[in-house]
Amino acid sequence: MVAEVWRRMGRDDVLILASATAYAAVLSVFPLLVAAIALLGLFVEQAAAQETVIRAMRPYLPDQALVLVRDTLQGIVQTRGAAGVISAVGLFWGATALTGSLRQGLNRVLGGTPRAFWRLKLVDLGMVILGGVFLSLSVLGSAVLAVLSVRPVAAIVERAAGTLGQFAAVVGPVVLSAAAFFVAYRFLPNVRLRGRSLLWGTLTGMVLFELLKLGFFWYLRTLARYPIVYGPLAGLIVFMVWTYLVSVAVLLGAEVMAVMEAHG
């Protein structure tokens, strides 16, 4: 299987598709995060909403990219001011470039056929909204654990909250990553996949993502010298390299599914 996946990678231009997705991510991630801040801002202060979103992104982004996202969001929020629900919907629509690029890549790998324009835009928008839901779940979980740890009603609750917090910090991001891979593979490509293929593709993509996260984050902490080479653009370069690697993991998981579908 490994040899066939490798061969299909070259045939399907997986690395080029991943580059396109990384570029689309730069265009999409900030509208998505600003929309999330706008919706959270309906319930809490704008500054608190912004900090909550940044904390929720911490398990998934390198520190350099996180600094870029935080500083950019601060500038955007200060410029735009408070955004309402209608504005948030418009921002969600603007974030569909990423799901559109990923959808095209998955259709290329899995042999999917294009949908009608209105259907594919609905799917793209739905996936962006689901991304917002995943982000909200992460935010909600962090908030609940924070409340439990700061205001325990008893010593046993405090100990349980501490244990739960440690467990959630490790398992929570993995569970959300697996859910994101499953949903992307199930709904983005216009092709019907068998459950076994979908399961193995999700597992492959998730494991590759976690391994890449460990390896790339370690590399940035110990060996990388992006600030020396790229100066103030270092955060942007790190963000694009990271989204490129994640895109490769997503498409490799799809290649595994394609091989399994081809062999029955």
Domain-by-domain residue ranges, the chain?
2-262
Please check the confidence at residue 191 and state whether its pLDDT lies above 50. yes
Rounded CA separation 182/235 (Å)? 29
Kindly tell me the burial class for residue 208, based on how many C-beta atoms sit within 10 Å of its own C-beta (0-12, 13-18, 19 or more): buried
Residue 45 CA from chain centroid, whole number:
25
pLDDT digits (tens, 9 = 90+) for 30-65: 777 777 777 666 666 777 777 777 887 888 888 888
Can you give the pLDDT at residue 169? 60
CB 197 within 8 A of CB 244: no
Cβ neighbours of 181 (radius 10 Å)? 24
The CA-to-CA distance between both ends of the chain, in Å, stands at 13
Please check the confidence at residue 152 and state whether its pLDDT lies above 80. no
Please check the confidence at residue 140 and state whether its pLDDT lies above 50. yes
**Mean pLDDT across 112-124:** 81
CB 261 within 8 A of CB 88: no
Model-level pTM greater than 0.85?
A: no
Can you give the pLDDT at residue 257? 94
**Mean pLDDT across 111-136:** 77
Question: Who contacts 220 (Cβ-Cβ below 8 Å, separation ≥6)?
Answer: 62, 63, 64, 226, 238
Q: Which two tokens stand for residue 48?
A: 């608190």
Cβ neighbours of 204 (radius 10 Å)? 20
pLDDT digits (tens, 9 = 90+) for 192-247: 889 899 999 999 999 999 999 999 999 988 877 777 778 878 888 999 999 999 99
Question: Who contacts 34 (Cβ-Cβ below 8 Å, separation ≥6)?
Answer: 73, 76, 77, 80, 83, 91
Rounded CA separation 57/36 (Å)? 12
Distances (CA, A) of 214 to 145, 178, 228: 24, 16, 23
